[in-house]
Amino acid sequence: MKWHYYRNEYFQIVPASEEDFEVIKKMTIGEVYESNIKKTRNYEFHKKFFKLVQKGFENTKTKIKDVDFYRYYITMKAGFFESVETGTGKMILPRSIKFDKMDNIEFQELYNAVFNQIIIDIECDEVLFRNELSSFL
């Protein structure tokens, strides 16, 4: 769906990022602009996912020294990976969690799967881990 915007002194477009601000400030009052509108993923929930991963990393019993590598590991272990054919066989990669690659529903599924996998990996009671995680947030 495309929308046409007419910027005037009464209608305000609020930027969601610094990049958006740079685009909007170049718009001229009285001109008509066209844009594609889509709902973006919840940034606060995105941050919550990274806090979950951090807490899992702090409690892991595996010998992983880097939190980013742990995020890849736990994401793939939770079932969110892609298999890529190469000249020498298959390569397994974690699914991208970038905003433009994963919608809200899929990201919620990822969060739940990673949460459950962390519980299994660190051999922790779910309620206890949720409580510990809530104090971490």
**Structural domain boundaries in the chain:** 2-36, 43-136
CB-CB contact of 12 with 6 (8 Å): no
Query: Both tokens of residue 22?
Result: 């740079």
- Classify 4 in phi/psi space as left (phi over 0), alpha (psi -120 to 50) or beta: beta
Split at pLDDT 50, 70, 90, the class of 11 is: low
pLDDT reported for residue 2: 46
How far is it, in rounded angstroms, from Cα 13 to Cα 23?
11
Please indicate whether residue 8 or residue 123 has the higher confidence score (pLDDT).
123
> What's this model's pTM, rounded to 2 decimal places?
0.69
pLDDT reported for residue 72: 96
How far is it, in rounded angstroms, from Cα 29 to Cα 11?
10
Of the chain, the percentage scoring pLDDT greater than 90 comes to: 46
Residue ranges of alpha helices (H) inside 4-98 are 18-25, 43-59, 67-77
Query: Both tokens of residue 94?
Result: 């974690």
pLDDT, one tens digit per residue, over 63-107 is 899 999 999 999 999 999 999 999 999 999 999 988 778 888 899
| Lowest mean pLDDT segment, chosen from 42-46, 90-94, 122-126, 133-137 | 133-137
CB-CB contact of 3 with 35 (8 Å): yes
> In whole angstroms, how far apart are CA 24 and each of 9, 18, 49?
13, 10, 30
